[in-house]
Amino acid sequence: MIRFILAALMLVTGPAVAQTPPHPLVIAHRGASGERPEHTRAAYDLAIEQGADVIEPDLVLSKDGHLIVRHENEISGTTDVADHPEFAARRTTRTIDGVVTTGWFTEDFTLAELETLRARERLATLRPGNTAFADETILSFQQVIDIARAATARTGRVIGVAPELKHPTYFASIGLPMEPPFLEALRMNALMAADSPIMVQCFEVETLRSLARSTDAPLLQLMAASGGPADQPGMTYAAMATPDGLAEIATYADAIGVETAMILPRDASGASTTPTPLIEDAHAAGLKVVAWTFRAEDPFLPTDYRGDLTGWLKRFYALGIDAVFSDFPGVAVEARTHPLP
């Protein structure tokens, strides 16, 4: 049986209640991040209010080994760290997965220090309304689990969590392996089973292989339209998306999470073209398929769907997608209610 959150969802707290999961699942990408600063309590609460089935936190590590919810370990673009004179000397340059980056990094701060920071909107030019939410604190992984658990009890709907482990090979290289604290968090929260309301994501292959040996929790291999896993030199996502590559992924994961262009490529003008066979090939390999990321702003949409996020979502729903990541979960839920014929 495929171990995946779509197959069987259970309540996070209290007695198990059988429910038919919605389809496709709507995963709030960093919360309702199109309308609130990403990875904040405000973003997660709004996403749940809008009907999201799953909330997504990206995970990095603090200096003292705590799992912190941030898009990247470099935090100058998503926090007010630059406004804290006491942290000015910690600005530095690091190479993360081959990319040279200058800024402030979570691994140089304790959890207590990170809790003194406030979140900031990462895409302020595109989402100026989000800049009004300037007092949101930085969350830990446990706090996001608690948000989902409380919402499940409050709404009677199962609210899943889809954590993404960011840069695990890098963190291991500096003496901060992610897997031990992550697995401990799963154990403490009874999220180790195949039917747990969780979906663990990573772009790196060996991290997922390692987790597959330690937990039955559903695993998702992330892939992009270009490049390849940081921990697998010479391997490309394109090769992983072939029938042979998908069969290999199915030996350790339950699903793939792919960039929309891997399903509906875009031509030179930026318009969407003919679908690839990826959804059918993945289903044939026993894998569910999740597409990322659905955003309302025109720079993120193909030219033939500018101003029409609903239509873009419905196009994927009609292709048989199993779940979507969206910055606008309310739109994704509404599109699911009235799909294309």
What's the pLDDT score for residue 338?
78
What is the pTM (predicted TM-score) of this model? 0.94
Average pLDDT, stretch 90-110?
97
Q: What's the CA gap between 145 and 115, in Å, rounded?
A: 17
Catalytic residue among 29, 39, 66, 167: 29
**Is 71 assigned a catalytic role?**
yes
What's the pLDDT score for residue 5?
52
Buried b (16+ CB within 10 A) or exposed e, 223-252: bbeeebbbbeeeebbeebbeeebbebbbeb
Average pLDDT value for the chain: 94
What's the pLDDT score for residue 310?
97
Confidence of residue 269 (pLDDT cuts 50, 70, 90): very high
What's the pLDDT score for residue 341?
64
User: Could you write out the three-class secondary structure of 108-129?
Assistant: HCCHHHHCCCEECCCCCCCCHH
Catalytic residue among 23, 39, 66, 71: 71
Calculate the CA 279 to chain-centre distance: 19
What's the pLDDT score for residue 22?
83
Confidence of residue 60 (pLDDT cuts 50, 70, 90): very high
Confidence of residue 3 (pLDDT cuts 50, 70, 90): very low
Q: Which domains does the chain show, CATH number per domain?
A: 25-73+139-337 (3.20.20.190)
**Is 84 assigned a catalytic role?**
no
Segment 151-210, tens digit of pLDDT: 999 999 999 999 999 999 999 999 999 999 999 999 999 999 999 999 999 999 999 999
pLDDT at 213 over 90: yes
Judged by average pLDDT, the poorest of 15-29, 67-81, 107-121, 179-193 is 15-29
